[in-house]
């Protein structure tokens, strides 16, 4: 979050080379990966996963942080719903 705070809105569209993810897309990818790891890696939920969030045209550091925080809160609820047996099964 500190790195996002240091970013200017125009930096979120920066791509290090043609075809690369932009800085903002990488930030959203991190949030989506958290969701994937919790659902598939720990909770063993194999249903359809929602698509990765798209970078808004007018993305700001605050708007991207809001997406990360919302996904993180959801994943905390999923993790809080698991019992010790479910966590143990994740490591077999």
- Asked if 30 and 75 touch (Cβ cutoff 8 Å), the reply is no
Q: How many residues does the chain have?
A: 92
Rounded Cα gap, residues 51 and 68, in angstroms: 14
Rounded Cα gap, residues 25 and 31, in angstroms: 10
| pLDDT on residue 50 | 80
pLDDT in tens, 5-48: 888 989 999 999 999 999 999 999 999 998 888 877 676 666 66
pTM reported for the whole predicted model? 0.78
């Amino acid at each position: 979050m500190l790195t996002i705070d240091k970013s200017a809105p125009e930096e979120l569209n920066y791509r290090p080379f043609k075809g690369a993810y932009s800085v903002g897309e990488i930030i959203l990818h991190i949030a989506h990966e958290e969701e994937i790891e919790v659902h598939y890696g720990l909770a063993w939920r194999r249903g359809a996963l929602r698509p990765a969030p798209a970078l808004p045209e007018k993305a700001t550091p605050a708007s991207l942080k809001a997406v990360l925080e919302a996904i993180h809160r959801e994943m905390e609820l999923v993790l809080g719903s698991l019992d010790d047996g479910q966590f143990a099964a994740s490591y077999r």
